[in-house]
């Protein structure tokens, strides 16, 4: 039996990883993406480009001890044991290989930020690229795609269905001009992200965040759920999502949570704090959404401002003029329109937490904030959904009996992730790791399953 290609990848975000890896292993690949602006519009391009790689050589070079097991324990802790252990284990064990492969084979300038810690990670393990922005990450993936003679890219083209034929799959692809193509392939990878752009699905599965601003790809329309569902796929964790409590209200860009981790505080319109911000930015989105007016202010100081400047997103927030400055807290309060007394009391109380102790919300001691101060108005946002098609450790989509559906893989937001239920289980980097990691595993599995390809020994 001959096929047009070995693999059709639907979605040119994290899915590009599968294309590059499959081509490297000798397979011919077609990538389709429905969004003509996917380079700036998909979630991978919008991200902060943070990818966990526990046990990587970059950590070893920085003298950091870490392991997949330690990461798995962090995931279990953050999700209260509700994450899919099989997928968490598979991704924890491929993370280091993935970031090293991105550096060595894709040519990505991978670096390991050690200047701050993300909530819930017990070791600095989220790797990134200079500028810490997904547009750079995606550009490097696309450059590798363009270098490969085995990969074709078809844009805009939407995968609308997957059918069985002749022991393989037919990928049905439609173009905006009304065109329709049937591409025969050994397998299809659904890398079409989740359903954050479908407000009805969000309202149904994640009512607590449904009213918040959606800050993710407009083509995340739940296509994988529909296409997988037609093939009998099982779904899970549909209530899981990544929120973010710190989208700049005026710049519509991310104020990095690094500002909080370095000592910043979130106050509401009354100038009052309302929780332990360091638990995590994802769950704090719903907490902020529930405050009066559904918005607040991230308050920090000049020192923290300096520490955030390595993030491209923060530079954009600065450039948009969204960062307010003042020499004292009363002046800051006047500038941002909150009552001065509670604001001063909150910042003073935070600075008085002794090492080893916690404040009334359970927040540990932080470096005290000192004049001059800064503040950015923030709104909560939904970034992406985390539930989807259930997959196994090779990214094969499972049916409702738990058996793999032949020739069908899923990765990233299309698949159920490793964040358990709700918003609280999200650990920084656990959006991109399932996106790139499951795509990488899918390509390796497909190559190994074909007798004609030469898969390097030990390759996943
Ligand atoms: C501001 C922001 C910051 C973030 N920072 C991080 C971070 O630092 N670390 C982290 O781990 N996660 C982060 N995330 C989450 C992360 O971006 C996502 O989890 C991840 O990028 C999802 O990758 P994906 O490949 O599943 O989806 P995407 O990158 O969105 O790619 C899906 C692609 O599929 C296309 N598509 C959709 N339907 C179809 C169809 N039917 N046919 C063809 N194409 C289709 C879309 O056009 C899109 O290009 C962030 C998210 C946001 C919004």
The two structure tokens encoding residue 190? 């659904």
Ligand 1 centre and the CA of 134: distance in Å? 10
Are the folds of 5-240+386-449 and 242-382 the same? no
Ligand 1 centre and the CA of 392: distance in Å? 20
Give the nearest ligand 1 atom to 160 CA: 41
The two structure tokens encoding residue 213? 């601003």
Q: Give residue 459's pLDDT.
A: 65
Q: How far is CA 39 from the centre of its chain?
A: 16
* Contact between 165 and 184 (Cβ < 8 Å): yes
Listed by start position, the domains of the chain span 5-240+386-449, 242-382
Instruction: Determine if ligand 1 sits within 6 Å of the CB of residue 248.
Output: no
Identify the residue whose C-alpha is closest to ligand 1 atom 31: 13
Which residues, 6+ apart, have CB-to-CB distance to 56 below 8 Å? 66, 95, 96, 99, 100, 112, 125, 127
Ligand 1 centre and the CA of 279: distance in Å? 24
Distances (CA, A) of 24 to 99, 150, 234, 457: 16, 9, 31, 14
Instruction: Determine if ligand 1 sits within 6 Å of the CB of residue 430.
Output: yes
Ligand 1 centre and the CA of 326: distance in Å? 37
Instruction: Determine if ligand 1 sits within 6 Å of the CB of residue 228.
Output: no
Instruction: Determine if ligand 1 sits within 6 Å of the CB of residue 193.
Output: yes
- Between 3.90.1300.10, 1.10.443.10, 3.90.700.10, 3.90.180.10, what CATH number should domain 242-382 receive? 3.90.700.10
Ligand 1 centre and the CA of 215: distance in Å? 11
Distance (Å, whole) CA 369 – CA 281: 20
Give the nearest ligand 1 atom to 411 CA: 26
Distances (CA, A) of 300 to 1, 69, 144, 362, 371: 63, 35, 40, 19, 9
Instruction: Determine if ligand 1 sits within 6 Å of the CB of residue 313.
Output: no
Which neighbouring-strand residues pair with 410?
A: 190
Instruction: Determine if ligand 1 sits within 6 Å of the CB of residue 17.
Output: no
Strand extents, DSSP E, 291-391: 296-301, 324-326, 373-385, 388-389
Strand extents, DSSP E, 15-154: 29-32, 51-52, 126-127, 151-154
Distance (Å, whole) CA 225 – CA 316: 34
Domain 5-240+386-449 classification at class level: alpha beta
Question: pTM (2 decimals)?
Answer: 0.92
Q: Give residue 452's pLDDT.
A: 64
Nearest C-alpha neighbor of 290 from the set 310, 305, 275: 275
Ligand 1 centre and the CA of 362: distance in Å? 33
Walk along the chain (460 residues) in steps of 10 and give the mean pLDDT of each run. Answer: 94 98 98 98 96 98 97 97 97 98 98 87 96 96 98 98 94 98 98 97 94 95 98 97 95 92 96 94 92 96 96 94 98 98 97 94 94 97 96 98 98 97 92 98 97 62
Q: Give residue 458's pLDDT.
A: 61
CB atoms within 10 A of CB 32: 26
Q: Give residue 457's pLDDT.
A: 61
Instruction: Determine if ligand 1 sits within 6 Å of the CB of residue 11.
Output: yes
Ligand 1 centre and the CA of 413: distance in Å? 7
Nearest C-alpha neighbor of 458 from the set 307, 448, 397: 448
Identify the residue whose C-alpha is closest to ligand 1 atom 3: 47
Give the nearest ligand 1 atom to 216 CA: 53
| DSSP code string of 178-206 | S-EEEEEEEEEEE----STT-HHHHHHH-
Ligand 1 centre and the CA of 63: distance in Å? 32
| DSSP code string of 243-271 | EEEEEETTT-SB--THHHHTT-EEE-TTS
Ligand 1 centre and the CA of 10: distance in Å? 12
The CA-based dihedral angle spanning residues 444, 410, 210, 174, taken in that order and rounded to the nearest 10 degrees? 120
Instruction: Determine if ligand 1 sits within 6 Å of the CB of residue 13.
Output: yes
Ligand 1 centre and the CA of 386: distance in Å? 11
Q: Give residue 1's pLDDT.
A: 74
Identify the residue whose C-alpha is closest to ligand 1 atom 9: 429
């Amino acid at each position: 039996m001959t096929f047009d290609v070995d693999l059709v990848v639907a979605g040119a975000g994290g899915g590009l990883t599968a294309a590059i890896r499959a081509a490297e292993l000798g397979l011919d690949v077609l990538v389709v993406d429905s969004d003509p602006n996917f380079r700036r519009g998909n979630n991978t391009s919008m991200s902060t480009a943070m990818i966990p790689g526990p046990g990587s050589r970059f950590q070893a070079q920085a003298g950091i001890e870490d392991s997949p097991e330690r990461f798995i324990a962090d995931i279990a802790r953050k999700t209260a044991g509700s994450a899919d252990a099989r997928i968490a284990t598979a991704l924890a064990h491929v993370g280091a290989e993935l970031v090293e492969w991105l550096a060595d084979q894709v040519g990505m300038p991978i670096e390991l930020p050690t200047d701050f810690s993300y909530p819930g990670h017990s070791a600095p393990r989220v790797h990134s690229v200079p500028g810490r922005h997904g547009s750079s990450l995606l550009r490097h993936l696309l450059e590798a795609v363009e270098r490969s003679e085995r990969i074709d890219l078809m844009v805009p083209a939407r995968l609308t269905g997957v059918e069985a034929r002749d022991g393989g799959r037919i990928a049905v692809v439609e173009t905006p001009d009304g065109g329709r193509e049937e591409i025969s392939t050994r397998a299809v990878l659904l890398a079409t992200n989740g359903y954050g752009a479908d407000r009805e699905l969000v309202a149904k599965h994640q009512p607590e965040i449904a009213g918040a601003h959606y800050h993710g790809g407009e083509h995340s329309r739940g296509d994988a759920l529909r296409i997988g569902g037609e093939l009998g796929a099982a779904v899970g964790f549909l209530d899981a999502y990544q929120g973010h409590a710190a989208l700049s209200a005026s710049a519509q860009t991310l104020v990095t949570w690094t500002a909080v981790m370095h000592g910043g505080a979130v106050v509401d319109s009354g100038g009052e704090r309302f929780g332990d911000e360091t638990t995590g930015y994802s769950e704090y989105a719903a907490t902020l959404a529930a405050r009066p007016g559904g918005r607040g202010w991230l308050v920090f100081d000049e020192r923290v401002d300096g520490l955030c400047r390595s993030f491209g997103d923060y530079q954009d927030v600065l450039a948009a003029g969204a960062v307010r400055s003042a020499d004292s807290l009363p002046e800051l309060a006047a500038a941002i329109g909150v009552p001065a007394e509670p604001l001063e009391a909150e910042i003073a109380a935070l600075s008085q937490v002794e090492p080893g102790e916690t404040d009334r919300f359970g927040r540990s001691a932080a470096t005290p904030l000192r004049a001059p101060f800064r503040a950015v108005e923030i709104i909560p946002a939904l970034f992406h959904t985390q539930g989807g098609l259930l997959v196994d450790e090779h990214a094969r989509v499972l049916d409702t009996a738990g058996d793999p559906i032949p020739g069908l893989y899923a990765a990233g937001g299309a698949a159920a992730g490793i964040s358990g239920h709700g918003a609280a289980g999200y650990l920084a980097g656990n959006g991109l790791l399932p996106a790139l990691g499951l795509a990488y595993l899918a390509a390796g599995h497909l190559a190994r399953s074909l007798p004609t390809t030469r898969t390097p020994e030990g390759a996943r």
